Amino acid sequence: MMIVGVVGSGAMGSGIAQVAAMAGHQVVLADANAQALDKARASLGTNLQKLQEKGKINDAEDILRLISYVPFSAEHMQVFTGCGLVIEAVIERLDVKHNVFTNLESVVVDNCVLATNTSSLSVTSIAAACRRPARVLGLHFFNPAPLMALVEIIPAIQTDGVLLPTMNDLMIKWGKIPVAAKDTPGFIVNRVARPFYSEAIRICEEGIADMATIDWAMTEIGGFRMGPFTLMDYIGHDVNYVVTETVFQSFFFDPRYKPSFSQKRLLEAGWLGRKSGRGFYDYSPGATIPDANKNAELGKEIYERILSMLINEAVDALYLNVASAADLETAMTRGVNYPSGLLALCDKWGADKCLEKLDSLYHLYHEDRYRASPLLRKQAIGNKKFV
């Protein structure tokens, strides 16, 4: 069976290594930071032991023996020589990723596939650092990789088309649900989901409702598993804000993706969310979450405003061929656990009503962030269905 390399042993990299090893592959897990490797080794041991205790695997040690831990350095690069696939999962910096791929190309065989787990950077730009860019593509897993089923497969413009069905089949064998996405900023999930965060913050900044009320509206009325402020605190503002900023810059500063000063200030203060004990909410011992204003009319207004923005992003992604309708629906339900696909929600609500909501926001604010997708306008004529 093919040997799989993983570069970067943080939560994402070690999670991908676990997935590959549980599928029966020998795995080379590499990191330039020795402490990170030690932490990954301990974490993988604990995680797999828990799975064994729950009866989900037969023998944790059998899987752990498939994983080797090596420094990512010039002296140890030869360990990647036998790999058929290497997945990069390092920091979201283009220069660092270029360096990783350049070093890998110096030792891997010609038919080794090189994949990046980037969540928001250009796969095409990463591939451009390689002598053989045709073998480079994006495999974007979601955290935690062993639990989250979705994997976005993103070809660069240089990627050899034969790799796509091969990687699709491999991800299915790994127990994942693959979707295909165009190499545009944020791909599917990190593009379409942006209004869930940004519009919630905007509503709060305007004083229409506080954080607890917005979270209540989106969970109790909207059926989302977490409200936007709770979810941003859970993800961490060092991750969530940076993705928003990257997508905004990558879209040539399109106002639809504009970051929030409120969230940036949290990042600057080191209030990263649950991981630091403080974010939008206070998680220190004895702290309590404020009570929500459970006014049904207010809650419906909040929900419909955020939902209209989410639907518009999904519709525009379909309009611009970022992904198929089926993959858009799968990505949002299996990647971020939305209660329904956004296109299906549009069909249920009515494209005409969604358009009416967006146009009313645009007329109020005269901001381009509220412009409706041309496809939504077309669907609203006769209230046609998406799915």
The residues annotated as belonging to the active site are: 119, 140, 152, 190
Query: Encoding tokens for residue 101?
Result: 């791929």
Q: Please report, as a single letter, which amino acid is at residue 378.
A: K
Residues 213 and 297: their CA atoms lie apart, in Å, by 12
SS3 (DSSP) at 67: strand
Q: Which residues contact 365 (CB under 8 A, 6 or more apart)?
A: none
Query: Encoding tokens for residue 120?
Result: 């928001």
Residues 256 and 250: their CA atoms lie apart, in Å, by 12
Residues paired with 5 in a beta bridge: 28, 86
Long-range CB pairs of 134-139 (<8 Å, 24+ gap) are 134/158, 134/159, 134/160, 135/111, 135/159, 135/160, 135/163, 136/101, 137/113, 137/163, 137/164, 137/167, 138/181, 138/183, 138/187, 139/87, 139/115, 139/167, 139/171
- At residue 39, what are phi and psi to the nearest 5 degrees? -65, -40
Residues 84 and 5: their CA atoms lie apart, in Å, by 8
Query: Encoding tokens for residue 114?
Result: 């090189």
Name the residue among 4, 256, 23, 204 with its Cα closest to residue 117: 4
